[in-house]
Homo-oligomer: A and B are copies of this chain.
Amino acid sequence: MIDKRVRSLADAVAGTPDGAVVLCAGFGGAGLPNALCEALIEQGARDLTVVANNAGTGRTGLAALLAARRVRRIICSFPRSAGSVVFEELYAKGEIELELVPQGIISERMRCAAAGLGGFYSPVSVGTRLADGKEHREIDGRIHVLEKPLKGDVALLAADRGDRWGNLTYRKSARNFNPTMAMAASLSIAQVRHIVELGEIDPEMVITPGIFVDRLVEVPV
């Protein structure tokens, strides 16, 4: 019997090792696994590398994890936003490393890892500082840079509905990075608003099939 439901947030994030690469879903305020981020503080893993689009806002969720000094390095496209105060403080003091990656390349690199590929050639960032140090190659008359797969040890996800097999759905733009990050980590953990019976989700509407999900915990927010 397949049952990926766990009873608590602590069970959900249990075993996250120090030094882990943590994929943290969400865009703006939508689809953020805030409860899981906060559970990770309690769990205690340190020296993390976080991959996320933004670098947290306010003092909750990812920002709380940053404030607890558990994150050595963040790979993201747009660290600043209204309320990214924790990140900005740490950055100004040189207490967090930032790797800036064009937004579409972050997700394409994660998909590349998810798909078992070794890398891809992309025209994005050619001629800019963000292409420095990357292998360049002309293909069909256009310059490309080689981008490498980006795999997570852990993915933290936020979904709307989920069942015991780990099938997930999202609401509206809260889908964002969740499906790709679910595929791209060794251990994918979802907080879901509603755990439903197996079969309640229409097979045509499953956005993340359970094969990509390892644990889910109900967090009705």
Residues in A lying within 8 Å of B, measured CB to CB: 108, 112, 115-123, 137, 139-140, 142, 144, 148, 169, 171-172, 203-205
Between-chain CB contacts (< 8 Å), 22 pairs:
A112-B120, A116-B122, A116-B123, A117-B120, A117-B121, A117-B123, A117-B144, A118-B120, A118-B121, A118-B123, A118-B137, A118-B139, A118-B140, A118-B142, A118-B144, A119-B120, A119-B144, A120-B120, A139-B148, A169-B204, A171-B204, A205-B205
Nearest opposing residue in chain B for A145, CB measure:
B118
Contacts of A108 in B (CB 8 A): 115, 117
Counting chain B CB atoms within 10 Å of each CB, the highest count among A117, A137, A139 belongs to A117
Given the complex of chains A and B, what is the CA–CA distance between A84 and B18 in angstroms? 56
Given the complex of chains A and B, what is the CA–CA distance between A66 and B148 in angstroms? 41
